[in-house]
Chains A and B, each alone.
Chain A
Amino acid sequence: MTDLDLERLGDVWRQRPDPAELEELRRTAEAVRRRALWGQIIDLVAAVVVAGVVLLLALRNPRIETLLIGGSAVLVLLWSHIRQRRMRQIEIRGLTGNTEEMLDQSIARVEATLRRTRFQLIGFVPAFLLGIAFAYAADAARITEVLARISADPSLRLLILAAAAVSLAGMGFHLVRVLRRGREELHRLTSLREAYREERESSLAE
């Protein structure tokens, strides 16, 4: 049994690609770069616009409530940007590290998604009802009036009930799908990590 000639196989592997295929790759890369750049620009412009609008509202109506709500909105925006940036850095660190680290990181990400989705699945109906209760507590007279108007019109009532049922069912279906896909991805990632561990441990054993 002769050994594989990896030098020769390497030459076969690295055959010069078709110029048309290279041109296609160049176009794809340019489109990806442009899209990513525009994404960054849009994110930045949106953040500046939101912060500007909040500031303007606070200046026009300098009451403590406006300042509190405006300040909170800007803080949430800032926190979301910092979080997004940190997550991207973590992802990049994973991609530039070794495969097992990348797999560990991917597993942690999928597990976090699964936890969040389970929480959403359990909580989305109570959250919906809680929202209605809060609205009622905030302005009972107005809500009673709206409910009375809906009750008075059977077709409107039917329409609203149907819309609510479809929205809730759609949300539930979406969350169940995310859960199922997440579980499948987690299974594949853990199997892969296991394969790498076995490979490493068997190397140490020999």
Chain B
Amino acid sequence: MCEDRTGALPREAAATGGIASVNGGIPPFDRIVAEFGPLISRIAMSYEADPALREDMVQQILLAVWQALPSYRAEASLKTFIARIAQNRAISFVAKQVRQPPTAEMPELVESERPDPEQVAIDANERHVLLEATRRLPLPQREVIILVLEGFDYAEIGEMLEIAPNALALRLSRAKAALKKMLESAP
């Protein structure tokens, strides 16, 4: 996956977040899903632990992306555009749920072809702990941490959340402190 923070991409590909568009327009939906599906999936996972509800959430995010695509103007990268929709849809989805934020167990994504099962287990556990800790963060902090973990740079995050650099730095510093505390207290 081409999700590095600073990798230089061709101008058009950079505008669309790494995937080349067809005839300078918006890339087809299936290519967007192939490229940004994991991003959508991870954002959904960080807001919803229940697999059935998460499936609903992913469907709603995909529908919102599909509906919003014609309004995309290459002012920001396509990745930024999709991440913003996914975060906002995830937050509104969580607000609609009657019950409190869930803590149900969930299968994590792991690379199936890895040769070392022990390493797979360690990585999966680390990821699981990270996800669990992220889910316990207050939403304003969670939003920032997810975007940092997704590889967005601070300028992009500030633009996405429409907050000033110093406010972003402060929110991120609080989010990091809270996350660190939760990771340290994790079993």
Interface residues of A (CB under 8 A from B): 1, 3-4, 6, 9-10, 12-22, 25-26, 28-30, 32-33, 36, 88-89, 92-99, 102-103, 106, 181, 184-185, 188-189, 192, 195-196, 199-200, 202-204, 206
Interface residue count on the B side (C-beta < 8 Å)? 61
* A26 vs B138: C-alpha distance when bound (angstroms): 31
Closest 5 CB pairs of A and B: A203-B167, A13-B149, A29-B33, A98-B162, A199-B140
- Neighbour of B30 across the interface among A20, A26, A99, CB < 8 A: A26
Task: Determine which of A1, A14, A25, A200 lies in contact with B163 in the assembled complex, contact meaning CB atoms within 8 Å.
Answer: A200
B131: nearest chain-A partner, CB-CB: A13
Shortest beta-carbon distance from A61 to chain B in Å: 40
Task: From A1, A96, A185, name the one whose CB has the most chain B CB atoms within 10 angstroms.
Answer: A96
Whether the pair A18, B68 counts as a contact (CB closer than 8 A) is no
Let me know if B42 is at the binding interface, CB within 8 A: yes
B110 lies within 8 A of chain A by Cβ: yes
Asked if residues B167 and A13 are in contact (CB atoms below 8 Å), the reply is no
- Asked if A92 and B71 sit within 8 Å, CB to CB, the answer is yes
Query: With A29-B29, A29-B62, A95-B88 given, can you name 7 additional A-B contacts, CB distance below 8 Å?
Result: A14-B149, A25-B41, A26-B30, A88-B67, A92-B71, A97-B84, A98-B160
- Beta-carbon contact of A12 and B130 below 8 Å: yes
B30 touches A6 (CB 8 A): no
User: Which of these, A21, A93, A200, contacts B41 with CB under 8 Å?
Assistant: A21
Contact A192 B171 (CB under 8 A): no
- In the complex formed, the residue of A with least CB distance to B146 is A13
**Contact of B95 with A192 in the complex, beta carbons under 8 Å:** yes
Taking the closest CB of chain B, its distance from the CB of A15, in whole angstroms, is 6
For window 111-145 of B, CB contacts with A under 8 Å fall at 111-112, 123, 126-127, 130, 138-141, 143
